[in-house]
A = this chain, B = another copy of it.
């Protein structure tokens, strides 16, 4: 039989060299997961709005809710996520808890993301 497989070993696809190089350069799995994780945290418009505010001022939970129009409960849930990703700091003062964005790296990412959105074509996904 020997069907017309003139070339490469088991690689069905025609570029074993590219595949080889790529495998060598590939991101470590844990690193890819960690990278996706930080982006996933930033990938929600409510969190973007909250973090944008928290990047330039300290705010308590109810101020955040009032300023953004997001329900207090949702704000709290989102802050918990941000806390567990270690990108906000918080301190209690009496009944209130004040939060700030506490990761310069993330602040930079956020700025760049906003900048990207600002300068990118508003028709972002209607030609799927």
Contact = CB atoms under 8 A, between A and B. Distances in A.
Interface in A1-57: 11-15, 18-19, 21-23, 25-27, 29-49, 52-53, 56-57
A112 interface: yes
> Oligomeric state, in number of copies?
2
Interface string A109-125: 11011111111111011
A32 B60 contact: no
A105 B63 CA distance: 33
Contact of A63 (B22, B109, B119): B22
B42 A43 contact: yes
Interface in A63-110: 63-68, 80-81, 83-86, 96, 105-106, 108-110
A65 to B, nearest CB: 8
Interface of A: 11-15, 18-19, 21-23, 25-27, 29-49, 52-53, 56-57, 59-60, 62-68, 80-81, 83-86, 96, 105-106, 108-110, 112-122, 124-128
